[in-house]
Amino acid sequence: MIRTILHYPDKRLRTKGEHVPEVTAAVRQLVSDMAETMYAAPGVGLAATQIGVALQLFIVDVAAEDEPSDLRVFINPEILDRRDTVSWSEGCLSFPGVSEEVERAAQVSVRAQDQDGRWFELEAEGLLAVAIQHEFDHLQGVLMIDHLGTLKKRLVNRKMQRRPGAGVEA
């Protein structure tokens, strides 16, 4: 089922996700709904908080259009290490039409559970590392706009306020 993606400045985007105590059938259904929503948008990542579900859960698929899907599920993620820095042009499904340069770690180590509840660790770099950090931020109530300077924040904020239907969110 395709879910509604919250758009900035919806206050629910600032909600910190809660720990997922157990990976249940309902959590696996949420992952399925999130994947369908992300692919329909289209995007490369989606956090549960972006669809109004305050759980520590996000998904990422950075496969190119001509490659098979590489959907990765991160439940209760922890970033263990961040190395080096890279500046990347980031977009966000909660900021439609916005793309801004954001500085992130070039490589990350992450520990999380998969959709079956099994713990795993992953070393990531490039777009995957950036996407993991971007989605992890969402689970902490941190948004892409928070990484921008004052002038860029104002410009993005103004663009989002002028977006059709911008005044109807909670």
* Domains along the sequence of the chain with CATH: 11-165 (3.90.45.10)
pLDDT of residue 120: 98
User: For the stretch 34-65, what's the b/e string if a residue is b when 16 or more beta carbons lie within 10 angstroms of its beta carbon?
Assistant: bbebbbeeebbbbbbbbbebebbbbbbbbeee
Task: Inform me whether the pLDDT recorded for 170 exceeds 50.
Answer: no
**Is 135 marked active-site?**
yes
Task: Inform me whether the pLDDT recorded for 169 exceeds 80.
Answer: no
pLDDT of residue 93: 97
What SS3 state is found at 1?
Answer: coil
pLDDT of residue 165: 67
Residue where the block lists tokens 């369908």: 36
- Mean pLDDT throughout 28-50? 97
The active-site residue, picked from 22, 103, 135, 169, is: 135
- Mean pLDDT throughout 62-87? 95
Q: Are 73 and 114 in contact (CB under 8 A)?
A: yes
pLDDT-derived band at 104, boundaries 50, 70, 90: very high
